[in-house]
């Protein structure tokens, strides 16, 4: 017999309910396939994990501890956009999920999001705070900037 092994019915992936599924960022993140298998411990949707990571990184968090701390401080705001019914993830969950994500798939998402940010709508101003990198001046070519 060639039966496909399926997890028990009570062990399913938690799809979550996204309060604002029409947002372009949410739609873009929804295209990434979730590499995690079904588990009874599966309580955070992939969209929630990715959204929290992107938002907290844009707010200045540069490691998993900072992302978790930032997410706790803006939990109510995050709840407007993604499913936060199970609270903020722990550091181990962030590390585990990002260690098994397909890098090429995530790179495509980053490129799509970058293109989305670059789109200038009429009457809309997008500001970036950047710094001039030291030692990057070429003779007559100006300096490089870091965003």
- Whole-angstrom distance, CA of residue 113 vs CA of residue 81: 17
Residue range 11-21: mean pLDDT, rounded: 62
Residue 94: which of 44, 58, 60 has the closest Cα? 44
- Name the most confidently modeled range: 24-28, 57-61, 62-66, 83-87: 62-66
For residue range 130-142, list pLDDT tens digits in order: 555 555 555 555 4
Supply 114's token pair.
């970058």
Return the ∠ at Cα 66 (arms to 62 and 68), rounded to 5°: 125
pTM score: 0.69
**Helix H or strand E encompassing 127:** none
pLDDT class for 29, splitting at 50, 70, 90?
A: confident
- Length of the chain measured in residues: 147
Predicted pLDDT at 7: 57
Tell me how far CA of residue 3 lies from CA of 12, 34, 40, in angstroms.
19, 23, 22
Mean pLDDT of the chain: 77
Phi, psi dihedral angles at 63 (to 5 degrees): -150, 175
């Amino acid at each position: 017999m060639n039966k496909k092994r399926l997890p028990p019915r009570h062990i399913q992936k938690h799809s979550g309910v996204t309060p604002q599924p029409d947002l372009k960022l949410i739609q873009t993140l929804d295209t990434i396939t979730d590499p995690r298998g079904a588990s009874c411990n599966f309580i955070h949707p992939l969209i929630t994990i990715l959204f929290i990571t992107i938002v907290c990184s844009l707010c200045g968090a540069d490691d998993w501890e900072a992302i978790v701390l930032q997410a706790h401080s803006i939990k109510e705001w995050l709840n407007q956009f993604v499913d936060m019914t199970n609270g903020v993830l722990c550091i181990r969950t962030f590390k585990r999920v990002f260690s098994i994500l397909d890098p090429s798939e995530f790179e495509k998402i980053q490129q799509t999001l970058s293109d989305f940010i670059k789109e200038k709508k009429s009457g809309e101003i997008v500001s970036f705070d950047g710094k001039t990198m030291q030692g990057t001046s070429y003779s007559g070519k100006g300096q490089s900037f870091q965003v």
